[in-house]
Structures are given as C-alpha cells and as structure tokens.
Amino acid sequence: MEQLLNEIKVVHLDGEINRLLAAIPEDAIGYIPGVKFNQSEELFMELEDEVLVPRLPIHHDVLKLEPEEAYMVRLRDLIRRISARIPAAFQGLTYTFDPAEILKPCFFRLYKIDDSIYLYLLRLDLAWRPFETTLIEAGSNDVTACYKTSHLYFESEIIPLQYVGWDEGKAKSFTIRQVVSNTWIGESGRGYRVHGVWMDPELTKFFSKLVLPEGVRTYPFYPLFCKYKTICASAPVLRAEYRRKALPLLHRTLNFIVPEMENIQNSLKDSEFSDKMPLFAELRNRVPTTWRDIFQGYATKPYLNDRDMKEFSLEIPDRPD
C-alpha cells in the first residue's frame, strides 16, 4: 500500500496470505492480547508467549511494486503463526504489500455508514527493539535481526475517505477526505536545532476531549486524532466489534466538527489546547452525552516494566477476558 499525499494506493495483493485471512471464521476469538503503550507512546499488544520474527530485508526499491519472493515466504509464515494465536485481529481483513514500509505489513478493510466510506488500516511494526526481545540471530546492513518477542507493536486506525478507486471489482486506491487545512504553525529552536511545529497534537487533544467523559485521563491514548489532514479514530482492541464501535463515533464527530474546523484551527494557532478555551467549552456543551458512553471506564494505568521504564496499560472495562 503506497501513500501519495491524500491518496493511498493498493499496489500488490498476496493471494496466499489473503486466502489464509479469508478462512478465519467470523466468530474467531483466540487469545485477546493486552493493549499497552511504551514510554515513547508507541502502541503494542502483549502476546501470551513469544513469537519468532524471522530475518527480513531492510532495503526495497519503492518504485518496485512487487515484493521479493524470499521476503514473502518468510512473511507468510509469520502471519500464519500470528493469526493462529490472535485470529480475531485479522478477521475480515485483506493484506497488501507496501513498498515504502516493508517492515510494517499492512491490512485493511472498508466500511460504509450512510453515504460515507471509511478505511480501517492495521499495520504491524516488525522493527527489532533490542531491550524487549530475545535475539536469535544478529542483523546486518541488509537484513533485520531474527528475534523472539511477546510485544508486538502496531498501528490501528480508521480513516474517512472521499473516494475509492476500483478496478475489476477490487479496491485499488483510497482518496482521503481531508477536512483540516495546513497544520504547520512555524519553527522553534536555533541553528541545527530548528524544527517544525505542527498543530496536529493540539487538534488531537481537542477532538478527543470532546468525546471523553469528564475527568477521564487516557494519555497516551486518544480515541480521535489528527492525521492525513483529517480526523481519524483509534481502534486499539484488535477485534471487529471494537472497530464497529469506533466507526459511528467518528462519523458523528466528523459531521459535528467539520463546520467548526476553521474556528478550531484559528483558536489553536497561537496557544496550546486547554479545556478552558471558550470555543472548546461551547462545543463540548453541544456534544450529546451519549457520545461519551462508549468511553465510560476507559483509563490508562502507568507502571514500571521489568527494566524500570514507564509503560501504560489501556484499561477497557467491557473488553472480554
């Protein structure tokens, strides 16, 4: 899957992996991993036991839209083993190769509400993290390390679409519905330490706080976030019913926020987000309280892992054990 500005393209589908995923029954559950964040706010699932991640090539020509067979052989075996442990995470999804992110296998599914279409994206992050893994074989400049891990990092997001391009009944491209203008604010620092400043984190807080119950603290989890110049929804629990719960909330929120988007961006150009902002208080008062019911009992619990590094567990009261 290749991303170009506001368009995501499906460039190559692997028949063997997709036949494997299509065979997962609708009621498949298996082990349900815990959902956590590391100190850098990266999302990961904690598996019941370790999974072996094979050596994979590091380099790939982004202009080459088909993967090497040696890469696919190893990836197919890995997906077969992971999906056998957590089948619910892959139920109903389609795998597609992304030539720009070969260490992040990508899976997707389309959803529709009224006349709006949404893209669900799941990406696994297979990068080696030396302090969280058991090294089996060292990597090199050309291939990754072979390792075992019980921490499987991932991204799980729902993206609103403007248009879907089809070819012979198969989705080939997704045009993102962009509702946010340029979020670049300026620069900070001096000399070599100059870096850009974007509004995205403040917009993320604004969107999420609108739909979270009063006083709930979920950092670093944000149910709604700004990405791709639009409003996306997070789906951290990898089961179909949790994706479906996030979809109506995103749909309603988009319809509610889009008419106010220019005012929201103007209010954040010169100041950080605060729940005391007049515009935020006004909009929150207009949000139906029923929209917040989905997040009743949600919380993140900080703790120290076995290396004395801070992590956060995402507590979801209705998550099946």
Residues 6+ apart with CB under 8 A from 23: none
Query: Is 29 contained in some domain?
Result: yes
Query: Is 190 contained in some domain?
Result: yes
pLDDT at 62: 84
Query: Is 320 contained in some domain?
Result: no
Q: How many domains does the chain have?
A: 1
CA pair distance 216, 212, nearest whole angstrom: 7
Q: Tell me which DSSP letter residue 260 carries.
A: G
pLDDT at 95: 97
Query: Is 265 contained in some domain?
Result: yes
Q: What are phi and psi of 70, to 5 degrees?
A: -60, -40
Handedness of CA 233, 236, 238, 240 (dihedral sign): negative
Candidates 159, 287, 166, 132; CA nearest to 224 is 159
CA pair distance 147, 128, nearest whole angstrom: 8
> What domain range is 192 assigned to?
2-315
Query: Is 308 contained in some domain?
Result: yes
Query: Is 321 contained in some domain?
Result: no
Q: Which residue has the tokens 């080939």?
A: 172
Strand 94-96 and strand 170-176: pairing?
unpaired
pLDDT at 63: 85
Could you read off the pLDDT tens digit of each residue along the chain, which spans 321 residues? Answer: 655 568 899 999 999 999 999 999 988 777 777 899 999 999 999 998 899 999 999 888 888 889 999 999 999 999 999 999 999 999 999 999 999 999 999 999 999 999 999 999 999 999 999 988 999 999 999 999 999 999 999 999 999 999 999 988 889 999 999 999 876 554 444 545 544 445 899 999 999 999 999 988 899 999 999 999 999 999 999 988 888 889 999 999 999 999 999 999 999 988 889 999 999 999 999 999 999 988 988 999 999 998 899 999 999 876 544
pLDDT at 215: 86
CA pair distance 183, 172, nearest whole angstrom: 28
pLDDT at 183: 67
User: What's the pTM?
Assistant: 0.92
